[in-house]
Structures are given as structure tokens and as C-alpha cells.
Structure 1
Amino acid sequence: MDKRYLYLSKQNVHNIIYKNYQMVIDAVEDSLSMLERGTTRQPDKISQIFDKKYQNRINCMPSTLNEIQTCGLKWVSVFPSNQEKGLSNVEGFSLLSDTVTGRLKCFMEATECTSFRTAAVGAIAVKYLARKNSASIGFIGAGEESRAHLKMIKFVCPEIKTCYVSSRTEKRTKLFIDELKNDYTDIRFIDCKNDYEAAVTNADILVTAISSQTQVLKAKWIRQGMFYIHVAGLEDEFEVAKKADKIVCDSWECVKHRSQTIAQMYQAGLLKEQDIYGDMGEIILGKKNGRESNEEFIYFNSVGLSVEDVLLCNRIYEKAKKLGIGTWIEK
């Protein structure tokens, strides 16, 4: 068997994870637990940025999960400028190797994995950090990542009955609603067009998933009890984080070296280590409490971690073998 590896195409991967949201959430939550237990190796992500305006970049993200004897790598391009060309913003590939023999096990197209893995982190954060009676969600950004977040968050929080959607263009908000309204007939979709404030003001859960580097989320729109999921780069005013009762990350150690809002604040001396409440792994394992009152405004920053990708891709690989999906290729 070690003379072959399994190739999984985009369609192969889609067939395995399509609406199998529990598998995705379990993989991501387990990976965050592994990271907190210290049974992983995660070298720094290498990011080559080719355009300062759009932050067009290609990332190399390696990690090792000792508990499953697997080392993996995700190679992902993130090109926000592709929107203007009618192309997808993100394209990713992952490979997995056995750490006992060093043999390549699998090579797969991982663009959809990236989208749903990111959304699963947000959904896990909702489970631990959002108010239990959260019934509405608001989006600044109406692209693929926002759609994935709605799907995953609705899965863990079926009480959501209202969705406010805003974007830079009215076309994108309409497309968002048209694509999702038939699958989620119990949700009342409200098209806020490019009025970001309207999408934020009444939301219990707020998601910003935009490709620009602009502080579009204003601190004055934030109210007590909200839960905010920060997905991309610089999309909120510094005062938003300053209003938070708790700031939680998937990994603060990884976040603080990047260019996201709270990382910029930390690098400028406007945020200190003690201002960060903790990482999701600590909360999942019960080392720290999640939400402690309905009045807390909690800020969650997701940076995206290789350990999440590797465990999810390895479970897709194992599932593919059981189902006989994919193509075995001679080395």
C-alpha cells in the first residue's frame, strides 16, 4: 500500500463533506483539543504576500498530529482581487504523510475544506461563547465564507430565525439570499444591501467575512450580549475589541504575529497579553469558562490553523478509503 497514495478531487471531497457538518465540527474541535494538550507540532505559517492593497497571498501551513501519527501540509492561495476577475478568492490543496514510515498517504483538493473548516471554528465558538437564546445573525460580507458560516452556525444553533446580510454590492447580498432561502425556510432573510449598520444592530451573533482591509465595523454599533466572529483581516475599529468583556482566539500565539485587528493593536502597544482571555482549546477542555453572562460582549478572532486542516483532511481520507472514493496513484 505504501507504493500508492490516494488522490481526492474537488468533487470527491465535496461528496464526503456535503452536509456532513458534524464530521467537520468534530474534527476541528478535536484538533483544538489536541493543540491545547500539546500533542501537535505547528511551525509558523509561511505567507508570501504579493499585493499590499488586496493582501493577495499564498500560504504554506504545515503541522503534525502525534495522536494520529500524521504530518500534513496545506498550500492555499488567497487572492481577494480575484473578485474583480470573476474568479474564486481561495484555492487550496493538502497532502498527508505517515509519521512512522514517512510515506505519502493522500493528496487532495482542499478549497471546500478550507471554507468549512473556518466556518466550523466559528460554529464551535458559538457553541461555547454565544448566548444560548441567540435567534439572529448578521453578516458583513456575503461571499462563500459567509455562506459557510451560516450553514455551520445554524447547525449548532438551530434557534436562529433571522439573518441580516450586507455587502459592498447589492448583487452579492441578493445572491446570498437566493442561494440559501430554499434550504433554510425557517429563517427570515433581511437584505441590508450595503448598509452594514443595519446588518449589525439587531444581531445576536455577528460575522465579518470581507476581503478588504477596511475598518467597516463601528464600535458604536456593538451592544451588550453580542457575540462577534472576526474572520478575515482588518475589518473593525480598534474600539470594538476595547469594548469586549472577553477576547478569545483559536490560537493567540498565532494571531499576534499576523495582521488582523487585534494583532495590529498588540503590535502597536494598544493591547496586552493579559487582555486576551484565552484560546478555544482551553475553553473546550474546561480550563476556562466560556460565556458567563448574557450581558457579556465577546470578541472571537479566528486565524485558521494547520492542525484543523490536517485532522479534517485525515478524516476525509479515512472516510474516502471506507467508501472507495478517490483514485489510487502509483508513486
Structure 2
Amino acid sequence: MIRSVITGTGSALPARRVSNAEMAEMVDTSDEWIVERTGIRFRHIASPDETTATLATDAAKAALAAAGVHAQEIDLIVLATATPDQTFPATATKVQAALAIDDCTAFDVAAVCSGFLYAVQVADSMIRAGGHAKALVIGAETFSRILDWEDRATCVLFGDGAGAIVLEAQDSAEAGGRGILATRLHADGRHNELLYVDGGPSTTGTVGKVRMKGREVFRHAVVNLATVMGESLVAAGLSADDVDWVVPHQANARILDATARKLGLPAEKVVMTVDRHANTSAASVPLALDTAVRDGRIVPGQIVVLEAMGGGFTWGASVVRF
């Protein structure tokens, strides 16, 4: 059986780090208010010369180095983003060019904060189908470009960044059982008005700004994330007791705590980086994964659950033997 094995992780953050105190100088808020409600203390904001593509490229280079894979070996790039450099072509093709890859399959996936999970499932399916051997799966965002900086309910929540993984086709026996074991994805477009951007090429002809009804999103997130994590574990033939680490979408510390409690998972098994990165949408899961791999928490052979929920609503979870 061919499995998609994560052989390298990488991440990239803009140089500028913005504290809650600095945010309080821009809008009517405070460090105490933000920390109490979200757990966020810092976020990174892209400069004009930093784009989704440049951040994605830097994250991809770090993942390739960690995997010991040359860029020319990559035959598939799937990039998840809600903030592409251009309406078209796909930002993945800009990353391809920046990595000097002469030819490979390259395209974007749009599922907002769940985008990385959708991209993982797409790449995993293409690898297991036998068409590709080595893939870059990237989540990258410059969400600061679509924030209303006068709306304190949203502008304090988000940041910019990118994360990437290298997926390689390996025989499951030779890989020691490592690889993506199961992924479950969902979407429910009836909740569009709870979390959306009020613009688009075919409606307003503008980029638009993020709009969110936070209380309702919180309620849906806790239920949906706990449910899909349970589904993915059942599909993998595992239980919550088998999980070594949960790497969740970094939206809100209270959502992460509530989801862990609902599944009966101890807080120390949950990787949390929302305090330093804020919500980086499609980048948040791979950013958190890379952080925990590089600081030595996540090691090969462990069971890791990746999960996220975003606008749409879309949500999903993936069980990986790392």
C-alpha cells in the first residue's frame, strides 16, 4: 500500500511582529481584552514586498531542506490560500517558478482556514493514485491585506505567514506505518454570512474585507471540530487515547481548549501557537506543525491529528502517523 509520508516541514513569517499594545494604538482595544478573549499576544504583518507567494516560497524551501529533497524532484504543488497574489494565475505557479522547477502540477485550493486540510487530502489522493511521487503542500496567507483596520472585532485576530510540508509516496511497510492514515472533510454553505469577505471579482470587483459574527462561529467551531476529529480517528481505526498530538487551526485559544475538553484530550497534547502568530488562516496548521517538529515535541512514529474550520463553513481533520 502506498502512503503519503510527511518527510519535511517548514514555515515563514513576515519580519514585522505586532504586539497587542501596538494594536491598542490603532483601534479601541487593549492587551487584556485581546488575551482574555483569544489568547493572542502577537501577530506578524507582511510588508509591501512580502506577499503570499514569497512567504510560501520561503516555507517551501525550509520544508525541502528538512526533507533532504531537491526542488527539481517535486512533481506536485498544492497551495491553500484565501489571499492569492493575483486573481490568476495560481500562486502555486509563482512558487514553482521561484523554486526553479521546470515543470510540475501546480494549483491553488480555496477553503479559507480549512484550506491546508483540503490541500493535504487532494495531494494525498493524487499520490495514492500513482500519478505523483513528491509533493509540496503549502498553506500561505497575507490576511492583513483583507482586514478592516477599523473593526476591532476582526483586525486583532489575524496575522500573516506560511507553512509547508513535503509529502512523499512510500510503501507503508517500508515506511513503518508512517503516513496519512485518514482525512475527513466537510462544508456547509448555509453559514456564509457568519464568516466571509464582502467583495470578489464577480460581485463587487473589489477584494473586500473580512466580516465575522464571532459568537456564532465559536459555537459551530467547537461542535464541528470535535465531531470531525472523532470521525477521522474512527476512519483510521484509532481512538483519542492513541493520539500523541493535536495540531489545530490557531483561531482562538478558547476554541482549542473547548474542543480538547469535548474529546477528553489533555491540554498538554494540543500544540498552541495562537499566542505568537494569531489566526493565519490556511497557514496556521502547517505553521504550528513546523513549530512543534522543530522544537522536538513531534517525532517520527507519533500519531498526530491536524484539524481546522474556516469560512464557508468548511472544516476537516487528518490523522497522520508522523
TM-score by length of 2: 0.31
Higher relative contact order, chain-length normalized (CA < 8 Å, sep 6+): 2
Computing the radius of gyration from Cα coordinates, the structure with the larger value is: 1
TM-score by length of 1: 0.30
